[in-house]
Amino acid sequence: MRYICLALCLLFLGNTRMHAQQLLAYRNQVDGGYSFWFYSPDKPSEVSVPMRSEEKELQLRMYLEQFYHSSEPYNWQHWREKQKEEAEHRGTKPLIVFLHGASLCGRDMKKVLRYGTLNAIDRGLQLDAYVLAPQNPGGAWQPDKLMDLVEWACRTHPDADTTRVYVLGMSLGGYGTMDFSAAYPHRIAAAMAICGGATSKNIANLRELPLWILHGTADEAVPISSSDRVVAAMRRGATPQRLIYTRLKGYNHGQPARIFYMEETYEWLFAHSLTDEGRPISKAISIGTHNIPQAYRSLSGPGHLQVSDTREVFAHGNVAAMEFALKQDSIMRADSIRAIHVR
């Protein structure tokens, strides 16, 4: 009986470990950056970490490896090459950046799961892609901070396709989507902005990437004039060939949120790549008042995702310990390693 109980405990822990790799919440991962959720559709063989070339940090990593395993120093260069080989064998995956609206701002990261791409996955939407969902503590989304997270994701997951990075958001997230896209039009393959606007001074840059703007005509929280102004600025002096603008007749501020739950949304995003010659916009997919009301019908209901505990990672003055803990993918070890003073 003792062995049976032990086996059941190990099975339970193994399953918990597996699910913990599906959706993780990170705090203090990027210096001065946003806290964020990161979703992986697969269980990676080993969690990758940002590799740094500084000799001092490499020595610290080796020290920590010896400290915990009493073995020969870990060959980090070999490990990185192995990660790249495994990524090539698995193939690449697109990266989706979801930006929430003002109602989800704050420090409670579970709020970010209330609606949007991650909530759609929890309700049964099938996406073979990485999803990065940061939380804005308040104020406008900062494009440079968002790009820091994209670069983190591409460093830590070698099979993330840098030519297929997509961003979509609603309300404040719609503003963030367009500001982010205007700041990095040649890093984002396609974008979808819902019920938003733009504060960027580089609106003309939005002509450089496929962009779909959707806004309800009855929106009282963020008037449709906010999107109208962006479209007018984009069309000033030239007719943008990479823009779709959909005015959703009679829709208020909340109704377009159903777009996050539609397969067509992600099919449209995935139809674009930075490698497309001329970067044409796909017009083969239709999203509008004719199919948005049916968005939830193909979903089987909540409960598909098990959310892990929040992973606290302290990067300030403890880079080696942070990376070692991430490599081991052990929250328990990450907790214990905090007490180590790394000089």
Tell me the CATH number at 269. Answer: 3.40.50.1820
State what percent of residues in the chain have pLDDT above 90: 59
Both 109 and 83 in one domain: the answer is no
CA angle 235, 282, 210 (to 5 degrees): 45
Angle between helices 172-183 and 143-156 (to 10 degrees): 80
* pLDDT level of residue 11 (50, 70, 90 thresholds): very low
Quick one: tokens of 187?
């890093």
Which long-range contacts (C-beta less than 8 Å, at least 24 apart) are formed by 54-59? 57/319, 57/320
Q: Do 189 and 332 share a structural domain? A: no
C-beta of residue 103 within 8 angstroms of C-beta of residue 14 = no
Domain assignment of residue 105, yes or no: yes
In a domain, 220, yes or no: yes
pTM value is 0.78
Is the residue at 67 inside a domain? yes
Q: Are residues 287 and 313 in the same domain?
A: no
Same domain, yes or no: 259 and 126: yes
**Is the domain of 111 the same as that of 255?**
yes
Give the pLDDT band (50/70/90) at residue 42: confident
Most confident of the ranges 2-16, 38-52, 96-110: 96-110
Please indicate, yes or no, whether residues 73 and 138 belong to a single structural domain of this protein. Answer: no
Assigned domain for 175 exists: yes
- Distance from chain centroid for Cα 40: 10
Q: Read off the tokens for 198.
A: 């733009």
Domain housing 144: 94-294
Residues 210 and 111 in one domain: yes
Whether 168 and 200 map to the same domain: the answer is yes
On whether residue 45 sits in a domain, the answer given is yes
- Kindly give, in sequence order, each residue whose CB lies less than 8 Å from that of residue 16, ignoring residues fewer than 6 positions away: none
Is residue 206's pLDDT more than 80? yes
Residue pair 226/238 in contact (Cβ under 8 Å)? The answer is: no
Residues 108 and 335: their CA atoms lie apart, in Å, by 20
Q: Is there a single domain that holds both residue 142 and residue 177?
A: yes
pLDDT tens track for 80-97: 566 566 656 567 999 999
pLDDT tens across 152-183, in order? 999 888 889 999 999 999 999 999 999 999 99
124, 178: one domain: yes
Q: Please tell me the total count of domains within the chain.
A: 2
Is residue 60 located within the same domain as residue 143?
A: no
* Strand ranges for the chain from DSSP E: 23-27, 35-39, 93-99, 130-135, 160-170, 190-194, 211-216, 243-248, 310-312
CA contacts within 13 A on the Cβ side of 111: 16
Same domain, residue pair 190 and 51: no
Judge whether 155 and 130 are in contact, CB under 8 Å: no
Residue 194: predicted pLDDT: 98
What is the reported pLDDT for 235?
93
Q: Take residue 254 and report the two structure tokens written for it.
A: 């909340």
Q: 63, 323 in Cβ contact below 8 A?
A: no
